[in-house]
Amino acid sequence: MSRPVAIIGAGIGGLTAALCLARRGFEVDIIERATALTEVGAGLQLSPNASRILIELGLLAELESYWSEPERIGLVDGQTLRPLASVSAGAFARRRWQAPYAVMHRASLQKVLLAAVESEARCRLHLGCPIDAPDEQVITAVTERIPDIIIGADGIWSRLRNSVPGAGRVRFSGNVAWRMTIARDTAAGLLEPDQVTAFLGPRAHLVAYPLREVEGYNLVAIIEGKETDAVWVGKDSDERRHDCLNAFSGWNADIRSLLDTATAPTYWPLCTVADGAWQDGRKIVLIGDAAHAMTPFAAQGAAMAIEDAFELADCLSTSIDVAMALKKFETARRPRIARVRRRAAFNHFAYHARGPLRIGRDIALKLKGPEALAADLDWLYGYGAANR
């Protein structure tokens, strides 16, 4: 007899978890407060550790109709446009890490996942169901069955987190992100159409990569910021726009022009969830940003939610004791999440370096070379690959 599961949140993590569990025989209800699924944000990097799981779910053909596989990941000096280092991707990523490194619009990934969920007989999606106090009784009223497991995939501002004693608290990271897209012609000669480029500078960096869906590029500018309106919604104002452009003073004039002329940029305070409990020792468990939201300096937020979904389904399918399975999941995932957090913190330090530290960073990158840089990513991108 299959066990019913209730998932709170129909974002990337929640939909992936639903698919993973349904494929293992669970009956899954996904509860979402929105009346329609319209993923906010823009671009998304899917590193091999995440794309491998989506491929195992049988989604490769659908994903390939949306994503691009850049040939390389490049680090560039934002002031001089001097190349600092690069790591091969494209066919190299498929060979080395046994899965693609891809970029796509977040809405496209959600669209693919949603279609797969809707075609899965063991999944039921409940839209327009806001649950402010997601206890078992309220969930049962929506799903009309008592869940054996309740999964919080409701993001950084998770309401289910309040039901987990000792769970981490949300805190402002000290950085804000400006997200925007620009037309391909606007960036001609400055951005590479087959590369993910991270432009580095003191106190700020800018990531750019192509998006097929908009026939242009996704830009994410990350700067040091103030703890104001630290909520997970995009906002803009003349004052905030001035803060963004001021952070890039002294940068290459063409890059500043891109940022200055971009239309409808959105402002996102970057918040994290401090280390804390992910499950209640009985039947409630948090995944993705609800459990351990991190800064985007390693581009692993969505990937960690996808990994969580896969690993949780595996733990639940190999144990009939739910409490034991949830403990096993948390024990297995904590070292991985901690290591990714450390990598993000290191990237933050390196990307925003200034003065002598910046000079030392540039020398170290030059001495290391592409092969050594790729080897440094094996533990991250090769996660779950055979013989690695």
pLDDT digits (tens, 9 = 90+) for 143-182: 999 999 999 999 999 999 999 999 999 999 999 999 988 9
pLDDT at 324: 97
In this structure, is residue 221 part of a structural domain?
no
Domains of the chain: total: 1
369 pLDDT band, cuts 50/70/90, is confident
List, in sequence order, every beta strand (DSSP E) within 127-273: 149-152, 170-183, 195-201, 204-211, 216-224, 266-273
Would you state the pLDDT for residue 385? 80
Tens-digit pLDDT profile for residues 333-361: 999 999 999 999 999 999 988 888 888 98
- Asked if residue 38 is part of any domain, the answer here is yes
The domain that holds 326 is classified in CATH as 3.50.50.60
pLDDT in tens, 34-65: 888 776 667 999 999 999 999 999 999 999 99
Closest residue by Cα to residue 15 from 153, 142, 107, 126: 153
Q: What are phi and psi of 330, to 5 degrees?
A: -65, -40
Domain housing 289: 4-70+100-169+273-354
> Residue 342 falls within a domain, yes or no?
yes
Cα gap 106→197, rounded to integer Å? 18
Residue-averaged pLDDT of the chain: 91
Higher-confidence residue of 162 and 234: namely 162
User: What value does the mean pLDDT take over residues 352-371?
Assistant: 88
pLDDT score, position 388:
46
Residue 194 lies in a domain: no
What tokens does 352 get? Answer: 């925003």
In a domain, 43, yes or no: yes
Nearest in space to 285 (alpha carbons), one of 161, 171, 166: 161
- Enzyme catalytic residues: 209
At 86, the amino acid letter reads S
Q: To 10 degrees, the CA torsion angle through 188, 191, 193, 195? A: 170
pLDDT value for 228: 58
| Predicted local distance difference test score (pLDDT) of residue 149 | 96
User: What average pLDDT does this structure show over 97-120?
Assistant: 96
Distances (CA, A) of 319 to 14, 16, 198, 312, 368: 21, 20, 43, 11, 45
In single-letter form, the type of residue at position 349 comes to F
Query: What is the structure's pLDDT at 225?
Result: 81
Residue 232: pLDDT band with limits 50, 70, 90: very low
With respect to residue 112, please indicate whether it lies within any of the assigned structural domains.
Answer: yes
Task: Say what the pLDDT of residue 30 is.
Answer: 97
Report the C-alpha gap between 308 and 329 in whole angstroms. 8
Average pLDDT over residues 181-196: 91
pTM: 0.94
For residue 2, give the DSSP letter.
Answer: P
Q: Give 92's contacts (C-beta < 8 A, 6+ positions apart).
A: 374
Residue 183 vs residues 221, 281, 379: alpha-carbon distances, Å: 16, 49, 35
Residue 369: inside a domain: no
Q: Is the pLDDT reported for residue 238 higher than 80? A: no
Place of tokens 């990237």: 347
Q: Has residue 252 been placed in a domain?
A: no
Rounded-to-5 percentages of helix, strand, coil across the chain: 40, 25, 35
Torsion, CA 298, CA 284, CA 53, CA 205, rounded to 10: -10
